[in-house]
Amino acid sequence: MKAKLDILALVLGFIGLVGTVTITALPTWRVSAFIGANIVVMEDLWEGLWMNCWRQANIRMQCKMYESMLILPPELQAARGLTCVSIILVVLALLITGFGSRKSNCCDDNIRSKNTILALGGCLYLLSFLTTIIPVSWVGSTVISNFYNPLVLEGRKRELGSALFIGWATSGILLITGIIVLFSYNKHRAKDEDPYYTGTPLVPLRNPSQYGSDYLKRTPSTSHKNHQYV
């Protein structure tokens, strides 16, 4: 059962890695909103973490990298750093849980060390969940609040892009992966570890003369002999 949980965690972790890389690269965090009678609906505008893209009518879509990070709103600036940290955390979690699996030769057959490695990998998955869902939810909340804000011009209002939905799904996968890894750790820690086991095999004591030890034969004392005649 534990081997199946390890494989499931690795598969979900790889899916989470693909998801974090995807949302970091996609330019569809915020897309143009088609509202109002005077808005040109033939124009598409995408805004991402690294570039923005636009297309009019049948013209091919053109993308341009941001010339400066300071021109981005605070939520997109924070999303840049947090998504990059999330990618690093997922990669580390994948490597650590891979070393801590039963099929790995890491730590030989030391179950206690492997369980510790699994616990560390599960914590990294939970951290990657936080660093993924925080920027995605922050950007989504800002888009929704600006959309319903009457003070914001209709031409500057945006809608939720596909990258946000992928980010929320990826966050759920990372959370489930971390829970699976920690559940596997808690389930087998008490079973596989014995706190009274020191790792040194016990040698049964057979014939003392076989181990080269000198034993003195017990002889009765002289006082014991004298007391027998009293």
- CB-based contact 27:191 (threshold 8 Å): no
The CATH number of the structural domain formed by 2-27+72-191 is 1.20.140.150
pLDDT of residue 61: 80
pLDDT mean over 22-37: 82
Q: What pLDDT is stored for residue 38 in this prediction? A: 45
C-alpha R_g of the chain:
32
At residue 197 the predicted structure's pLDDT band, cuts being 50, 70 and 90, is: very low
The DSSP result for 92-106, as a single string, is HHHHHHHHTSTT--T
Q: Which two tokens stand for residue 220?
A: 């009765």
8 Å CB contact between 39 and 155? yes
pTM of the model: 0.74
Computed over every residue of the chain, the mean pLDDT equals: 78
User: What is the spatial distance between Cα 145 and Cα 151, in angstroms, rounded to a whole number?
Assistant: 11
Q: How far apart are CA 182 and CA 119, in angstroms?
A: 6
For residue 96, the one-letter residue type is: I
Say what the pLDDT of residue 111 is.
62
DSSP, collapsed to helix, strand or coil, labels residue 150 as coil
Q: How many CB atoms lie within 10 A of CB 180?
A: 19
Return the pLDDT at 158: 87
SS3 label, residue 46: strand
Give me the count of residues in the chain.
230
Instruction: Map out the domains of the chain as residue ranges.
Output: 2-27+72-191
Q: How far apart are CA 26 and CA 161, in angstroms?
A: 10
Which residues have C-beta within 8 Å of that of residue 187, sequence separation ≥ 6? 2
Read off the amino acid at residue 118: L
